[in-house]
Structure 1
Amino acid sequence: MNEAIKTTKEPARKNKVESYDISRSDETLHLATDLAKFIKDNKLSTTVQGKEFVNVEGWQYAGSRLGIVPIVDHVINVSTETELKYQAKVTLFDLRSGHTVGAGFAVCSNKENGKKFYQEFAIMSMAQTRAIGKAYRNILAWIIRAAGYEPTPAEEMDYAGNTTEVKPALVVAPEAAPVTVAAEAPAPMKAVPAEAAPVETPAVTYATASQKEEIIRLLNHPVITRQEKTKMLLNINRLDEERATQAIAKLRKAIDDRENGESAAA
């Protein structure tokens, strides 16, 4: 008879939880890399105006990897007749050294944007949450920055300005379809009469120098008026020989007539 083979189960090995020492910069830089991955994988950040802010759970994870835990010291009701308001204080306790290594204060009020209708317990709870994030921020801000995030807890941000401005859509008028212009039919060709051969005009023979001298001599006669003299002198260079001859004859006749008339009057 075969004996039953007894197998002893080995105890399951627990994964070693890696811990970092905040006093050693090389270890905290490794923590920043691990923290960036953890926040991204678990979506523990909030986008405000295009920047990434870590939620309180991300800050708590960073603290726990360093052996630092938060302790709520007190929550005080500081409300008034017109405002619901709480103040909280949180201290950070280092499990290794047994000492307090940081603290943070925070308040929350129903006068804040988006909290007008919050109940009292929610206002008190948010004050504690903010105080936890603030306490961790006071000592671990540089590690969060090294992880690639903004060094302010997301709970401290005002989300009212986290809206994208909606710009009216630009209405573009449709382009007018190009107007097709029908090609004009070519005009019928007209018969063009042949141009007549140019008739040669005889060259103009202007008044000679002797003719001009005679005209000027006659114009200087006392019986010729200034108006007549001016008119003739303006056109003397335009006279051809024939017209110059006619002008001389007219001047002589005018002089004779006027001289004879004066003699008769005398």
Structure 2
Amino acid sequence: MTEAQKDNTKAPIRKPKAESYDISRSDETLTLAKDLANFIKENKLTTSVQGKEFVNVEGWQYAGSRLGIVPIVDHVINMSTDSEIKYQAKVTLFDLRSQHTVGAGFAICSNKEQGKKFYQEFAIASMAQTRAIGKAYRNILAWIIRAAGYEPTPAEEMEYGGNTPDVRPQPVATEPAPMKAVVTEQPAPAVAEPLAPAASNPAYATAQQKEEIIRLLNHPVVTRQEKTKMLLNINKLDQERATQAIANLKKTIDDRENGQVAA
């Protein structure tokens, strides 16, 4: 036998078989937890929130794949409105060994969330699916992630900027301001006095003028809208404008009464 023939008779080199685990056996899943902890640490698949480590969806997928459990996106629903981009996704988990569905998860994502104001629509839809995958795995594998030493909530569910306590500034004590004398305005005289040419403050309408305006506004031919508008501004009228308002009201009433008689 030649040397070439001897080489051909050598046993073929076998590749190491990938190890898988059975979720129904606790001893195997605990071994998976140790393997998972190393994998997550080596690949930096966590997000730190307030000092706690939350596993990214890739870590959850790795745990599921070692158990032969894969995610399937059932649907993605567009729940958007004119003012909001919003999507809902549902994911089911399929066990390749038993050929059965073993879990499911729902999730939503919206551009109203903190930090997502300028996300495009495809990114919102994609994040909804990513969250649903993490949620589905979390529903059945949370204890394995906890055994691996991490928080049992997918990192994608955490609001990184919204979990900090609301710190309100303490009020600063200030010394009370010194009391000042309050000057009260003298009531307008019943009889209008002539205004000085250089007077800066106008003389407001007298009580008699206001009473006359109100009496005229109660006339049936004056509309409710006209009455409301005048009453809202009656305290802003000076004596001159009050006189004009009275004259205008009288003229309007006369014109409308004459018009009704003619009709």
TM-score normalised per structure 1: 0.59
Structure number with larger C-alpha Rg? 1
Does the C-alpha gap of structure 1 residues 122 and 12 become closer, same or farther in structure 2, counting only changes over 3 Å?
farther
2:4 maps to which residue? 5
The offset of 1:5, in angstroms, is 2.8
1:79 maps to which residue? 80
- For the 8 Å contact 2:70–2:94, the answer to whether it is kept is yes
Whole-Å separation in 2 of the counterparts to 1:121 and 1:136? 23
The offset of 1:53, in angstroms, is 0.2
2:67 maps to which residue? 66
Root mean square deviation of aligned Cα: 2.1
- For the 8 Å contact 1:69–1:92, the answer to whether it is kept is yes
- For the 8 Å contact 2:114–2:162, the answer to whether it is kept is no
Question: SS state of the match for residue 91, structure 1?
Answer: strand
Whole-Å separation in 2 of the counterparts to 1:61 and 1:11? 31
1:148 maps to which residue? 149
The offset of 1:13, in angstroms, is 1.9
- For the 8 Å contact 1:49–1:161, the answer to whether it is kept is no
Question: SS state of the match for residue 20, structure 2?
Answer: coil
Whole-Å separation in 2 of the counterparts to 1:149 and 1:27? 19
Whole-Å separation in 2 of the counterparts to 1:142 and 1:4? 57
| Superposition misfits of 4+ residues, deviation over 3 angstroms | 9-12
Whole-Å separation in 1 of the counterparts to 2:66 and 2:119? 33
Structure 2 unaligned blocks of 5 or more: 165-263
Whole-Å separation in 1 of the counterparts to 2:46 and 2:11? 41
Question: SS state of the match for residue 19, structure 1?
Answer: coil
Residue correspondences, number: 164
Percent identity for Structure 1 against Structure 2: 83
Pair 1:131 & 2:132 matched: yes
Whole-Å separation in 1 of the counterparts to 2:60 and 2:2? 58
1:33 maps to which residue? 34
Whole-Å separation in 2 of the counterparts to 1:123 and 1:137? 21
Whole-Å separation in 1 of the counterparts to 2:120 and 2:13? 47
TM-score normalised per structure 2: 0.59
One-letter amino acid matched to 1:5: A
